[in-house]
Structure 1
Amino acid sequence: MTPEQRILASWHDNAVPWTRLIQRQGIASRRISDPAIEQAILALQPGRVLDVGCGEGWLCRHLASQGIHTTGIDAIQSLVDSARRQHPEGDYRCLSFDELEESLTESFDLAVCNFSLFGEQSVEQLLADLQTRLTPFGTLLVQTLHPLMACEGKYRNGWRETRWPGSGDDFGDAPPWYFRTLGNWLSLFQRQGYRVRVEEPLDPQQELPVSVIFHAFPEHR
């Protein structure tokens, strides 16, 4: 399998233990990064949000509680099913990145990719496709691991093997991911026609960034 195919296969096989891990808040850094992305969204006061790679739907549920209509999409059917069970009135759809442009007809004030971009070419195409789904003054937010914290001593672009956070959850093989330097991320957004502002949520105890949030705005506006 290609690395991109391995990503989907791994998430398909590990959807159940991943859902358990999220439900018990088993990833310590997300106690910082989850409120950070939610606050970044609420500050923009969007009417309609597209959550790309919504997983089991925690962010969609939080935004719905604030009166924001959110459409969650994910390529893994079991994650979408879990989101629907927890939020029956929500709008969840099983779509892969390459189905987005043809299958979504709505426009959104904001699209968010919260720790959901792991590939190489698929991410390039997704950033291009999302521009067609944003309203004229729409914004794209992308949160990912901070490259300086996640590089593990090798600060260069390329595919990396990874591991699931935590243990004892019956996880199988972890997916690979395509590591990007901060400069590579900025170049990627520029190639796809975005202006970018960077936010770096900090761990207050270690005083180091746990993630980076890219606030991306289409150049044409």
Structure 2
Amino acid sequence: MSDGWTESADAWVASQGEEGDFGRRWVMDAPMLQRVRLRPYRRALDVGCGEGRFCRMLRAEGIEAVGIDSTEALVDHARRLDPSGDYRPEAAEALGFEDGSFDLVVSYLSLIDIPDVRSAIAEMARVLAPGGRLLIANLASYNSAGDANDLGWTTLPDGRRAHAMDHYLEEKANWIAWKGIRIRNWHRPLSTYMTLLLDQGLMLTHFDEPRAHGGDPARQAHYDRAPWFMLMEWAKP
């Protein structure tokens, strides 16, 4: 069964452009890069790199970045946008790298797209070198537990906007559609991610729920009503 990514690849690339969508450009990019700049990373793996935008940002920081994605159409786009980059069609659940190959592994809003997240997290930990960091940006779980196409936001009878969610503790797949894109996302409670990461022997070194830091004021105000995303950094002993 298709997850929608191959069919949505062109629309996804168009939606991102060079600067990314609002959530990436105005919410997550700055805190992600801030964490990257704290340590002298040499080689990074971007798991679920899509069209390669964050790989290009890592390369601009002087880091040797490898991007993998299970959607070959997106890998092809990444190669066209960055011919000198290293982009490979691979599944996160079975990474084709030796143990400890990277001192930085990144999952930038990709865990919600991975069906077998247990295997994927184990693989990310395996290819991470001792002393390295796993940097994760993910959709906040209370968002993914809401109605997929409006991320839980609804209008009350009196006109107020409120957030509603249900079945938070159940792992489930949802289909979400916008701007010609229709893909399958996975909802999991935060405890699932935390348990899987702790089971790999990783240590949490940073956690944040970033605010928007610019862009259209109305959209910024909407993103600041509740955290849309979370950022986690985990160290491998």
TM-score > 0.5, shorter chain as reference: yes
Provide TM-score, normalisation by structure 1: 0.84
Deviation at 1:84, TM superposition (A): 0.9
Provide TM-score, normalisation by structure 2: 0.78
Would you say 1:148 and 2:142 are equivalent positions?
Answer: yes
1:204-215 equivalence runs, <5 A: 205=221, 206=224, 208-215=226-233
Query: CA 1:120/1:54 → structure 2, altered by over 3 Å: closer, same or farther?
Result: closer
Task: Find the residue that maps to 1:202 and give its secondary structure.
Answer: coil
Would you say 1:79 and 2:74 are equivalent positions?
Answer: yes
Can you give the 5+ residue segments of structure 1 that lack an aligned partner in the other structure?
none
Identity among equivalent positions (%) equals 30
Q: Select the residue among 21, 29, 37 that pairs with 1:34.
A: 29
Q: Select the residue among 86, 96, 104 that pairs with 2:97.
A: 104
User: What is the CA deviation profile of residues 128-169 of structure 1, one whole-angstrom value per residue up to 9, with x for unaligned ones?
Assistant: 12222111111111111112344321222321423134x3xx
In the other structure, the counterpart of 1:200 is: 209
Q: Select the residue among 14, 17, 22 that pairs with 2:8.
A: 14
Q: Which has the higher helix share?
A: 1
- Work out whether residues 174 and 187 of structure 2, in 8 Å CA contact, stay in contact via their aligned partners in 1: no
1:57-72 equivalence runs, <5 A: 57-72=52-67
- Work out whether residues 157 and 184 of structure 1, in 8 Å CA contact, stay in contact via their aligned partners in 2: no
Q: 1:89, 1:24 → 2: CA distance?
A: 17
Q: Give 2:191's aligned amino acid.
A: G
In the other structure, the counterpart of 2:172 is: 159
Can you give the 5+ residue segments of structure 2 that lack an aligned partner in the other structure?
147-164, 214-220
Q: Which stretch of structure 1 is more off in the superposition, 13-22 or 37-46?
A: 37-46
How big is the alpha-carbon RMSD for the aligned residues of Structure 1 and Structure 2?
2.1
Deviation at 1:83, TM superposition (A): 0.8
Total equivalences in the alignment: 206
Q: 1:26, 1:141 → 2: CA distance?
A: 19
In the other structure, the counterpart of 1:182 is: 190
Q: Give 2:189's aligned amino acid.
A: T
Task: Find the residue that maps to 1:111 and give its secondary structure.
Answer: strand
Q: Give 2:171's aligned amino acid.
A: G
Q: Say which one has the larger Rg.
A: 2
Query: CA 1:107/1:127 → structure 2, altered by over 3 Å: closer, same or farther?
Result: same
